[in-house]
Structure 1
Amino acid sequence: MMDFFSKTPEPPYYAVIFSSVKSENDTGYGETAKRMVSLAADQPGFLGVESVRAADGRSITVSYWNSMDAINNWKHHTEHQAAKEKGKSVWYESYAIRIANVEKQRLFSGEGND
């Protein structure tokens, strides 16, 4: 299960928390979501991502970044902008985006790697 967790560096760094409720229309959503993770991973300053989705359409995705500049660059990336617009018009009933400064982290693994 440790592969679920992003291998983030020692703080400080930033977390972008994207909480959403999907609409009934998910045409093309899965492919676009995978593309956005792949594209984000290629961006300077990207540190990792963790995501969970419930069967009822609720999800939380947390992406980690080394700076606010990196977050802003990703926010304005052309392909990401297009996906966000489609999300607003087709895929999401509602969502919230929060940006947090990670000041401390504690990692635990039942395998003794904390």
Structure 2
Amino acid sequence: MSDHSEAPVAPVAAYEPPYYVAVFTAVRTADQSGYSETNARMEDLVKDVPGYLGMDHAQTPGGLGITVGYFRDADALTEWRSNAEHRAAQKRGRAEWYQNYKLHVAKVERSHGFTRAGR
């Protein structure tokens, strides 16, 4: 998605399972005209979906972008998938911004986390 230079340096919390994740991995094209604005709009829009839990992003030096969206249940994920603005952004992404991408959706059965105590 975006470079997220202002994003906090902490992963999304470990939630009580079950919940769902949508893992989007992509390599973008050279022409990214309009991508940042659309991406920012999608990040704002998904927050309005009841059951949306959060999102993590990573970018490899080689250009592979990874976004993981967390959703409380399948209905929340379905609502996001069927959102008209999101569908339009997907269509534009295929036409302009992505060289290739993969989407994996999974039901999380186990989740835990660790945070080092402050010094």
Q: Tell me the TM-score normalised to structure 2 length.
A: 0.86
1:85 corresponds to? 91
Q: Does residue 58 in structure 1 map to residue 64 in structure 2?
A: yes
Q: 1:29 aligns with which of 21, 26, 35?
A: 35
Q: What's the offset of the Cα at 1:54?
A: 3.2
1:110 aligns to what SS in structure 2? coil
Gaps of 5+ in 2: 1-6
Kept in 1: contact 2:15–2:112 (CA 8 A) = no
Matching of residue 111 in structure 1 with residue 117 in structure 2: yes
Q: Percent identity?
A: 36
Matched residue, 2:100: 94
Q: Is the 8 A contact 1:11 1:102 kept in 2?
A: yes
- In the TM superposition, 1:40-55 aligns within 5 A as 40-55=46-61
Taking a change above 3 Å as real, the CA distance of residues 103 and 79 of structure 1, as seen in their structure-2 partners, is same
Indicate the residue corresponding to 2:4 in structure 1: none
- How many pairs does the alignment contain? 112
Task: Please report the TM-score for the alignment, with normalisation by the length of structure 1.
Answer: 0.89
Change (3 A) 1:32 1:4: farther
Tell me the residue number matched to 2:10: 4
Q: Per-residue CA shift, 1:41-88, capped at 9, x if unaligned?
A: 111110100011235432000000011111111111010001000000
How far did 1:4 drift?
Answer: 2.6
The answer (yes or no) to whether the contact 1:49–1:62 under 8 Å persists in 2 is yes
CA distance in 1, matches of 2:97, 2:58: 17
* 1:92 maps to amino acid: Y
Q: Which range is displaced more, 102-111 or 10-19? A: 102-111
